Amino acid sequence: MRRYRFADLGSGGPEHIASHLISGKRIATGGLSFHAPGGRTHPEGEHRHDHEEVFCIVQGKGELEIDGRREPIHAGDVIVVEPGEEHYIHADRETPTINCWFRADDAGSPKQYPAGSSGA
């Protein structure tokens, strides 16, 4: 896990906003996640990926659990989860939490770059 702040984001060009923090030329997928007070992401069980994933905490506070270790998070934090790290967000018991998440690769989203498209 690597921790940043929103001020650390930005590319100053056509690259994606976290291009200097993670590998991959284009954002491939992402979304916005809403967590009720006391809630946890992925209650179904173990959750990990084979790619980097960025979490931007846009509201609230709570804890980020990485491989069983918990660290406090709050609005303005940007977290890069490394490949293979088991990870969950736990919302504070009194404060709902909202985060934006995304990952990047060289192909990008097929919605933006259909197969065979150069993306130019």
Neighbours of 87 (CB within 10 A): 21
pLDDT the model gives residue 119: 53
Query: Is the pTM for the entire model greater than 0.95?
Result: no
For the cut 70, the answer to whether the pLDDT of residue 120 exceeds it is no
Q: Are 82 and 103 in contact (CB under 8 A)?
A: no
Q: What are phi and psi of 87, to 5 degrees?
A: -145, 145
Give the span between the Cα atoms of 65 and 74, in whole angstroms: 13
Three-state DSSP class for 100? Answer: strand
pLDDT the model gives residue 54: 96
Per-residue pLDDT averaged across 69-83, rounded? 96
* Chain segment 30-67, per-residue pLDDT in tens: 999 999 999 999 888 889 999 999 999 999 999 999 99
* Chain segment 78-100, per-residue pLDDT in tens: 999 999 999 999 999 998 999 99
Q: pLDDT-derived band of residue 113, with 50, 70 and 90 as boundaries?
A: confident
Q: Of 26, 17, 14, 32, nearest to 51 (Cα)?
A: 26
Say which residues have a Cβ less than 8 Å from residue 6's Cβ, sequence separation at least 6: 56, 76, 78
Instruction: Assign a CATH topology to domain 2-105.
Output: Jelly Rolls (2.60.120)
pLDDT the model gives residue 72: 97
Three-state DSSP class for 28? Answer: strand
pLDDT the model gives residue 117: 60
pLDDT the model gives residue 49: 92
